[in-house]
Homo-oligomer: A and B are copies of this chain.
Amino acid sequence: MKDTKARIAAGLERAFAENGFSEPNIDSLREAAGVSLRTLYKYMPSREEMVLSALEHRHRRYMQLVFDDLPSDGTPVLHAVLDCVAHWMSKEASHGCLFHAAVASAPRDERLRALLAKHKSEVAEKASEISGLQNRQGEIALIVEGLMQAWPLYGEAATRSAKKLCDTLVNDAPA
């Protein structure tokens, strides 16, 4: 069943987000997935596969939570995006970006690096597109990256800094 695999992926995502990619062994992953060892291996035939599935699941969830139903009141759209990112950090990623963490734990793994690149490029493209600042995609990506990395260190202060940077960017004459 597809929803079995999705349920497993959701549990794995949570386990990796809480404990990183090195610590949890197969048995704790199995427990987090809420499934037997045999079923776990049926859908994800190796630990590597478990990591990839968890990240794919997370990507879908991230795009949804950060970019779907942004408030359509007066607030600048980039501020709303940054608020969603900060909310995501506080609720789901208090240790930092899970994609970077995955690559950091296995820097040689090409499939992981490809997944990271795909995730980040989709985020950057969407953020610059909905803000109407396509010609500033690099700077926007850098602010989002900075926020996600700085949030575990500085909390809401990082959000305020990110918003200030966005403001100076918007006020600035287009390059």
Contacts and interface: CB of A to CB of B under 8 A. Distances in A.
Interface in A99-150: 100-101, 103-108, 116-117, 120, 138-139, 141-150
A20 B105 CA distance: 6
Given A20-B106, A169-B165, A100 B139 contact: no
Nearest to A121: B153
Interface string A62-89: 0000000000000000000000000000
Contacts of A160: 138
Contacts of A120: 153
A147 B175 CA distance: 19
Contacts of A175: 164
Contacts of A162: 142
A19 B108 CA distance: 7
Contacts of A154: 138, 141
Contacts of A5: none
A139 B139 CA distance: 13
Interface string A14-26: 0000111111000
Contacts of A106: 20, 22-23
A143 B117 contact: no
Interface of A: 18-23, 95-97, 100-101, 103-108, 116-117, 120, 138-139, 141-150, 153-154, 157-158, 160-162, 164-165, 168-169, 171-172, 175
Sort A-B residue pairs by CB-CB distance and give the 10 closest, nearest first: A146-B146, A101-B104, A138-B161, A142-B146, A168-B168, A95-B107, A145-B149, A22-B22, A168-B172, A145-B146
